[in-house]
Amino acid sequence: MSFWEKLLNAIGNTAGNALSAVVEAIRTVFEGDPETRRKVAFSVAIIALSAKMAKADGIVSEKEVEAFREIFEFPQDQAKNVARLYNLARQDVAGYEAYAERLSTLCVTCAANCPVLEDVLDGLFHIAKADGLIHEKELNFLRHIGEIFQMSETRFEQIAARHVSSGGDPYKVLGVSPSDDFPTIRRRYHGLVSEHHPDRLISRGVPKEFHVIANERMAALNAAYEAIEKERRAA
């Protein structure tokens, strides 16, 4: 049975109408399988935060739904179960802060700037920008999520820069300064490529279905490095 079949079967067997009941049921179902349980917890949390972000903005566009599906490649015959979970999150009286705080506890070994939580923020940015613009309410939502995740302001701005459709600062994307020499920038770039390789996501418990975000992140890093390299050569 695939990861999504396990996840959605657990959702389908839940009698409660609150997302908290769904989360508890899933925790119980996967009690003997900690690796799958961690992936399930990650997936449920990001689905919940995606739904809460859509509610905060007030509008759910078709493009945002498509972006959501790009992240979560679930079987077509399970679409109703996924929609049920998403709608439960939107309707649940609990605020998004509660889900963000719950997700942050997954990273007990990270004091700040946790890579798993960065994966979550990347996923949320991917959905937010799907309609061509990250609205102010969405950005405030994401910034507050970053604060709950104990993400530094510099790190958050670096993540945000990767998702600017045009005019993004390549130095900010790589977390370097225009005053840095090129060998320093190159070392930083190679370090980020190694840190954010798709295989690294899988090794830290992020479902392989999240590969769209990893590929998008790598593309942003490559584009930033190439832009800086071209600028330095021209100079």
- What is the tens place of the pLDDT at every residue in 142-196? 999 999 988 888 889 889 988 876 557 899 999 999 999 999 999 999 999 988 8
Would you state the pLDDT for residue 199?
Answer: 77
Dihedral class, residue 172 (left if φ above 0, else alpha if ψ from -120 to 50, else beta): alpha
Q: How confident is the model at residue 131 (pLDDT cuts 50, 70, 90)?
A: confident
3-state percent helix, strand, coil for the chain, nearest multiple of 5: 75, 0, 25
- CA nearest 215: which of 82, 123, 115? 123
Quickly tell me which residue has 């670096």 as its tokens: 158
pTM exceeds 0.85 for this model: no
User: Quick one: pLDDT at residue 170?
Assistant: 92
CA dihedral 37, 93, 142, 122 (to 10 degrees): 30
pLDDT at residue 48 greater than cutoff 70: yes
Closest Cα partner for 43 from 66, 60, 18, 26?
A: 26
**Would you kindly state where each structural domain of the chain is located, as residue ranges?**
1-232
What single string gives the DSSP state of each residue in 53-101?
HHHHHS---HHHHHHHHHH----GGGHHHHHHHHHHHHH-SS-HHHHHH
Contact of 92 with 19, CB cutoff 8 Å: yes
* Residue 22 neighbours by CB distance under 10 Å: 24
Read off the tokens for 113. Answer: 């700037």
pLDDT digits (tens, 9 = 90+) for 219-229: 889 999 999 99
- CA 58 to CA 165: how far, in whole Å? 22
Q: How many residues are present in the chain?
A: 235
